[in-house]
């Protein structure tokens, strides 16, 4: 088995036991419940999960974007060896947008409609570097050209509404990259886009990662996007990591029953599909997460021991949180494959 | 499949006129530009395309929710276009819709039982007692507990709401169900449940589906035949299997090549064909072939001569001067 691919010295981001809870009138919502994750240099890590799995909240709270009297965030987030959890807004200011770039899901709301895109890029450059206005503007035009916006010299003075969805997302990417960040966090960067535009954007992100050498954390619900982009995957369920491992291992040899369900439920473009496997029931209410395994109420392979919370375990880089033994998993998977073949 | 044609659309055009960018001008967007298609009894015809390609407008035209600008729609041999609302009403029972957004398509102020019962009340299919009994049965059919009848839509999850939407569509025993992006708002595990439910219902109730979606995987999964739309036109039509294995139109080919795949086998990855730019404005259509400005193989001819949708094999049509994969 390969050793852990991200030794401490090389990790750009090191998240340990991150917990985020919201206290609401109905009770405590544990949105993120014990996430640990290392992101290596130039590594692309995908976080995949369904709505409400806590994938976005985890990222936002790391960056200090979730601040409220009703929120409790614990754990540790080391960015290049420095603790960033609990930093004040003033201390976070050079980090956010400077050392850590962000791409959001909806490019229309990520850009302000009342200023030109050039103004917005210049503002960011000026906030994080000591460029003059003129230098920043030249750089803004270069950035727009780099992300493939035709005629950047005139487009720089246009407003966001004058761009299509895909073009807007390119602008957002240009902004995210403007200060040459060491880490890029992309939250559902292509979910709002059509498939041909999504392909353009994913292609662009891959290219730019080559040039800029940033590490990327990409949050998505789409296993296909993960397969396309990520080196490593974290599968989240109910605020907890269910499985972590290299992308190919997770897709080809998934270990957690939730990952089995998630992969089996995707209708395929590349093959005649059989009946889709489903996960019975719906995502559990965040107010009502069981004490034991969070997935147990929907799991077909539930056992008595599942009333206790499973820890992440596994060999080296590929780990999961499930009580099934290796023999049990092999037996279940072999049976499933046999059933599939006979139907 | 008996092959009997249930619904036939001939040269359907739908255009919307709106105020132009300059004072006193009007601009005309052609959302559906001359679509002809047939839906056969018992089959699922999938319509796939990107946002703005006119697939939802087409669906609304086919079931007469929107009057067509020109062209005809026939259902079971009766021409529906041009019928008065009253004459249309008996036919509406037979064509029901399932909508995309399970939050917006259910009235929040009515109980889900009433929502499912209303179509039967409006069409006066039975007395109230009988209707309640049928609603209970419908709930069971779509996998919901009949004891939830008196609850309101907000008490249900997205997947459950979509089941309610399906129950409502089935209330009048339609022969055609038009589903417009029925699963795109759902998480993948719930999406699979709803797709499986729709497949079971089709077998049990002998339904015909017109299934509209942007997700190529979903469309392949559910469809017997697939039509690919681009800028208000059907550019390719064919049996789902062959269309996905051997796309003829360069747009279909590119579309299929860019869907992110799970590389869970050692099969070589498909080469991505990136098409540049965005879908043109439907009020300012390119000359010739609508796809030519983005097409990797367009020639001079494509900029002037519009290719018609022609049948080039049994059940296989394409609108392209230079179809791919024909050898």
Tell me the pLDDT tens digit for each residue of B238-261: 999 999 999 999 999 999 999 888
Q: What is the pLDDT of residue A41?
A: 92
The average pLDDT across A219-225 equals: 91
Q: How far apart are CA A179 and CA A49, in angstroms?
A: 30
pLDDT of B326 strictly over 80: no
- Residue A198 scores a pLDDT above 80: yes
CB nearest to A279's CB, from B50, B189, B217 = B189
**Stretch B52-61: mean pLDDT:** 92
Q: What is the mean pLDDT of residues B59-64?
A: 94
Q: Check CB contact of B242 with chain A, cutoff 8 Å.
A: no
Work out the pLDDT band at B206, boundaries 50, 70, 90.
very high
Task: Give the model's pLDDT for residue A273.
Answer: 65
Kindly report which listed range (A103-112, A185-194, A260-269, A270-279) carries the lowest average pLDDT score: A270-279
Q: Are strands B225-230 and B233-239 parallel, antiparallel or unpaired?
A: antiparallel
- Contacting B with CB below 8 Å, chain A residues are 50-51, 164, 166-167, 194-200, 202-203, 221-225, 227-228, 248, 251-252, 261-270, 272-273, 275-280, 282-283
- Is the model's pLDDT at B147 over the cut of 60? yes
Q: Could you tell me the CA-to-CA distances from B75 to B4, B47, B79, B88, B93 in Å, in that order?
A: 11, 18, 6, 11, 12
A contacts of B226 (beta carbons < 8 Å): none
Predicted confidence (pLDDT) per residue in A142-162, tens digit: 999 989 888 999 999 999 999
3-state secondary structure of B39: strand
pLDDT category of residue A4 using cuts at 50, 70 and 90: very low
Indicate if the pLDDT at residue B16 is higher than 60.
Answer: yes
Residue A5 has pLDDT above 50, yes or no: no
Q: How many angstroms separate the CA of residue B38 from the nearest CA in chain A?
A: 23
What integer pLDDT is reported at residue A105 of this predicted model?
83
Report the residue of chain A nearest B272, measured CA to CA: A199
- Please indicate whether, in this complex, the C-beta atoms of A279 and B241 are within 8 angstroms of each other: no
For the beta sheet containing A100-103, the strands, ordered from the edge strand earlier in sequence to the opposite edge, are: A100-103, A183-187, A215-220, A44-48, A232-237, A240-246, A318-320, A313-315
Calpha distance B112→B122 (Å, rounded): 16
Selecting from A200, A224, A267 the residue whose C-beta is nearest the C-beta of B195 gives A267
Distance CA(B75)–CA(A186), nearest Å, equals 48
What is the arithmetic mean of pLDDT over B183-204? 91
Nearest to B166 by CA among B181, B189, B182, B150: B182
How much is the pLDDT for B3? Answer: 74
CA A335 to CA A329: how far, in whole Å? 10
User: What is the pLDDT at residue B327?
Assistant: 59
Q: How many CB pairs under 8 A join A and B?
A: 121
- pTM (2 d.p.): 0.87
Here the ipTM equals: 0.83
Per-residue model confidence as pLDDT tens digits over A167-178: 899 999 999 989
Structure confidence at residue B282 (pLDDT): 82
Which of A276, A283, A340 best tests the B interface by mutation, with the highest count of B CBs <10 A? A276
Q: What's the mean pLDDT in A314-332?
A: 91
Closest of A240, A165, A174 to residue A204, by C-alpha? A174
CA of A197, closest CA in chain B: separation in Å? 8
pLDDT class of B103 with cuts at 50, 70, 90: confident
Q: Taking CA atoms, what residue in A is nearest to B51?
A: A194
B197 touches chain A (CB under 8 A): no
Report pLDDT for B292: 94
A173-182, A235-244, B148-157, B278-287: the lowest-pLDDT one: B278-287
Dihedral sign, CA of A189, A192, A198, A201? negative
| Chain A neighbors of B244, CB-CB under 8 A | 269
Instruction: Share the mean pLDDT of chain B.
Output: 91
Name residues whose C-beta falls within 8 Å of residue A153's C-beta, 6 or more positions apart in sequence: A141
Categorize the per-residue pLDDT at B1 as very low, low, confident or very high, splitting at 50, 70 and 90: very low
How large is the average pLDDT for residues B161-178? Answer: 95
CA distances A130 to A143, A171, A314, Å, are: 17, 22, 48
Tokens of A14: 């090191």
Percent of chain B with pLDDT over 90: 76
Nearest to B278 among A166, A251, A280 (CB): A166
Residue B276 near chain A (CB below 8 Å): yes
Per-residue pLDDT at A142: 94
Tokens 């139109």 belong to which residue? B249
Kindly report which listed range (B10-24, B75-89, B119-133, B309-323) carries the lowest average pLDDT score: B10-24
> CB distance B255–A196 less than 8 Å?
yes
């Amino acid at each position: 088995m390969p050793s852990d691919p991200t030794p401490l010295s090389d990790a750009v981001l090191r998240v340990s036991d991150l917990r985020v809870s919201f206290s609401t009138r109905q009770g405590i919502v544990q949105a993120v419940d014990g996430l640990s994750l290392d992101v290596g240099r130039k590594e692309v890590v995908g976080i995949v999960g369904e709505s409400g799995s806590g994938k976005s909240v985890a990222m936002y709270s790391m960056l200090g974007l979730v601040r409220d009297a009703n929120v409790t965030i614990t754990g540790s987030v080391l960015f290049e060896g420095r603790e960033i959890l609990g930093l004040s807004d003033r201390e976070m200011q050079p980090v956010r947008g400077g050392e850590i770039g962000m791409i959001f899901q909806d490019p229309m709301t990520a850009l302000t409609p009342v200023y030109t895109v050039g103004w917005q890029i210049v503002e960011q450059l000026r906030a994080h570097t000591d460029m003059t206005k003129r230098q920043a503007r030249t750089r803004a035009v270069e950035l727009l050209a780099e992300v493939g916006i035709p005629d950047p010299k005139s487009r720089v003075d246009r407003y966001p509404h004058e761009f299509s969805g895909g073009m807007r997302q390119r602008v957002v990417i240009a902004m995210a990259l403007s200060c040459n960040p060491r880490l890029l966090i992309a939250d559902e960067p292509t979910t709002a886009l059509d498939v041909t535009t999504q392909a353009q954007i994913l292609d662009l992100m891959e290219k730019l990662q080559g040039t800029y050498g940033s590490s990327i954390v990409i949050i998505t619900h789409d296993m296909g996007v993960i397969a396309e982009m990520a080196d490593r995957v974290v599968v989240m369920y109910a605020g907890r990591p269910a499985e972590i491992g290299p992308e190919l291992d997770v897709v080809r040899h998934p270990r957690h029953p939730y990952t089995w369900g998630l992969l089996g439920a995707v209708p395929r473009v590349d093959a005649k599909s059989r009946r889709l496997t489903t996960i019975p029931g719906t995502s559990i209410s965040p107010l009502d997460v069981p004490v034991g395994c969070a997935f147990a109420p929907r799991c077909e392979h539930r056992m008595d021991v599942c009333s206790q919370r499973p820890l992440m375990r596994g060999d080296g880089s590929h780990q999961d949180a499930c009580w099934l033994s290796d023999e049990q998993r092999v037996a279940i998977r072999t049976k499933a494959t046999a059933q599939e073949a006979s139907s | 499949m008996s092959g009997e044609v249930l619904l036939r659309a001939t040269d359907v055009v739908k255009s919307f006129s709106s105020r132009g960018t300059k004072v006193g001008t009007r601009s005309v967007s052609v959302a559906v530009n001359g679509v002809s298609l047939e839906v056969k009894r018992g089959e699922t015809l999938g319509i796939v395309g990107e946002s703005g390609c006119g697939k939802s407008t087409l669906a609304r035209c086919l079931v007469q929710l929107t009057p067509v600008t020109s062209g005809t729609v026939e259902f079971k041999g009766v021409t529906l276009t041009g019928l008065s609302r009253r004459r249309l009403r008996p036919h509406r029972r037979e064509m029901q819709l399932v909508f995309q957004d399970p939050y917006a398509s259910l009235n929040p102020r009515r109980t889900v039982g009433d929502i499912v019962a209303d179509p039967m009340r409006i069409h006066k299919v039975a007395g109230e007692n009988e209707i309640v009994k049928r609603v209970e049965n419908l709930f069971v059919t779509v996998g919901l507990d009949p004891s939830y009848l008196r609850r309101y839509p907000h008490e249900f999850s997205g997947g459950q709401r979509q089941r309610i939407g399906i129950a409502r569509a089935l209330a009048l025993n339609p022969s055609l169900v038009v589903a417009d992006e029925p699963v795109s708002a759902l998480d993948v595990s719930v999406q699979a449940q709803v797709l499986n439910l729709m497949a079971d219902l089709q077998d049990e109730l002998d339904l015909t589906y017109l299934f509209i979606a942007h997700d190529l995987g979903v469309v392949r999964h559910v469809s017997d035949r697939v039509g690919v739309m681009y800028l208000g036109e059907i550019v390719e039509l064919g049996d789902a299997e062959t269309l996905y294995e051997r796309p003829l139109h360069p747009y279909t080919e590119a579309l299929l090549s860019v869907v992110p795949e799970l590389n869970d086998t050692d099969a070589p990855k498909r080469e991505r064909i990136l098409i540049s730019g965005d879908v043109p404005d439907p009020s300012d259509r390119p000359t010739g072939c609508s796809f030519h400005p983005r097409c990797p193989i367009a020639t001079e001819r494509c900029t002037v001569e519009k290719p018609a949708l022609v049948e080039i094999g049994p059940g296989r049509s394409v609108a392209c001067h230079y179809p791919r994969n024909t050898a």
